Amino acid sequence: MEVKIERLDDLGQGVAFIDKKVTFVPKTVPGDIVDIKLTKIKKKYNEAMLGDILVPSDARIPFKCPYFLNCGGCQLQTMSYEDTTKYKLNKVTSLFTKNKIDVSFALIENPKPFNYRNKINLKIVDGELGFFEINTHKMVEIDACLIADEVINETIILVKNFNILNGNVTIKCNQDNEVLIIIESNDLLNIDIDLINSKINLVGIVINRETYYGKNYLYETINDLKFKISYDSFFQVNPYVASKLFQIITDNVDANDKIMDLYCGVGTLSLSAAREAREVVGIEVVENAIANALENARINNLDNVSFILNDVSDEVDKMDIDYSKVIVDPPRSGLSRKVIDFLIKIMPEEIIYVSCDPQTLVRDYKLLQEYYKIKKGYVLDMFSYTHHVESILILKKRSEI
């Protein structure tokens, strides 16, 4: 069946219309005329699989990754980098416009749009290692990932010889090319440490949460701040754009500020703020991340920052109310109603909301809008060639409250 792709949806899939019914066609570009096969027919929409490209869009470029057509990881490799960032900027802006919120976002580009990721999670099913296919649990076996750091790709080849039949492997690295391998599997493994050490700079291997070899953490240095990152602690996946994010935090903090950093991870934003601020308190639920954060404050000689291990929604009940600024960087689910109510109760001068999901960002801002206006917005291309996007809103307390 022949259709014309009209636009991309929020997940980076092409949208076409068949008898006015929305039809999603992954891996296409607006303007493409393509042959499709319907894979799901629902009352309100269809899902389809791309067949032949009959007339390519003027905007279409050849994809570089051999797995692109099947792999569920990237969606935007058939567009120029400039077009991918335009799409993301437009996606976030129009989400706010649809909600009658007027804001213009500054775009922060990724200086290294390929081979930028310092972490990938691979599945292993019946001895095949890779990612899942788009919208399925079928494996796409891979030897390399074009958006992962080169040293991660060298490590994938080594992991393939570990004899893992079923499980998960996470490979993390830092900008010094040091590698940490994290495995979850019940199989009997065959790991040749000498061989690995002859090929890459291996820091450690963790198997089923136990340290099997070396260390269970890495260090990474960004903007002259050194961070210890345990195998199970969150860290931004793109160090080049993370550097810009951390700088935005430092630039938006003043010497008199008393700051709360909710969902602080290993303390990246807390320490970026503590360089300028009078005092910072970070809250995080992962035990190793808080242990890392405490150590990170020490190794960076910042003694104006403290950390609390707890669920943010439980801890806010116990917190003081005299904070001038609150940074929030929650997971994709956004802020709980309790955290929103806490922010409205303590009413800091500014809220710096860092978000990896614009849908929950706009949902949460709508609840704060009566009390806060948008001082500045940023769209950061943290996850190049995927539909994902990082955004920041700097919110200022309305003067009339």
Ligand X SMILES: C[S@@+](CC[C@H](N)C(=O)[O-])C[C@H]1O[C@@H](n2cnc3c(N)ncnc32)[C@H](O)[C@@H]1O
**67/234 with CB nearer ligand X:** 234
**309/346 with CB nearer ligand X:** 309
Among 50, 269, 273, 277, binds ligand X (CB under 6 A): 269
Among 66, 111, 127, 331, binds ligand X (CB under 6 A): 331
**27/325 with CB nearer ligand X:** 325
Cβ atoms of 44 and 29 within 8 Å: the answer is: no
**18/286 with CB nearer ligand X:** 286
Q: Which of residues 341-380 bind ligand X (CB under 6 A)?
A: 356
Within 275-395, where are the H helices?
287-299, 312-315, 337-346, 358-368
Under rule CB under 6 A, residue 235 binds ligand X: yes
| Count of chain residues binding ligand X (CB under 6 A) | 19
Among 149, 220, 284, 364, binds ligand X (CB under 6 A): 284
Among 285, 294, 344, 367, binds ligand X (CB under 6 A): 285
Cβ atoms of 236 and 245 within 8 Å: the answer is: yes
Among 87, 234, 353, 365, binds ligand X (CB under 6 A): 234
Cβ atoms of 237 and 383 within 8 Å: the answer is: yes
97: which 2 tokens? 């416009």
Under rule CB under 6 A, residue 294 binds ligand X: no
Q: At what angle do helices 358-368 and 337-346 cross, to 10 degrees?
A: 40
Stretch that binds ligand X, among 36-44, 48-56, 194-202, 308-316 (CB under 6 A): 308-316
Shortest distance in whole angstroms from residue 131 CB to ligand X: 21
Cβ atoms of 45 and 22 within 8 Å: the answer is: yes
Residues 6+ apart with CB under 8 A from 98: none
Phi, then psi, of 23 in degrees rounded to 5: -130, 120
Shortest distance in whole angstroms from residue 308 CB to ligand X: 9
Under rule CB under 6 A, residue 287 binds ligand X: no
User: Which three-class secondary structure string do you get for 234-263?
Assistant: CCCCCHHHHHHHHHHHHHCCCCCCEEEEEC
> Among 375, 311, 377, which residue's Cα sits nearest to residue 342?
311
Annotation marks residue 74 as catalytic: no
Distance (Å) of CA 157 to CA 120, 179, 231: 14, 13, 21
Angle (CA) 280-285-288 rounded to 5° is 90
Under rule CB under 6 A, residue 268 binds ligand X: yes
Shortest distance in whole angstroms from residue 247 CB to ligand X: 13
Stretch that binds ligand X, among 47-55, 171-179, 311-319, 391-399 (CB under 6 A): 311-319
**257/329 with CB nearer ligand X:** 329
Catalytic residues: 356
Residues near ligand X (CB under 6 A): 234-236, 263-265, 268-269, 283-286, 289, 311-313, 329, 331, 356
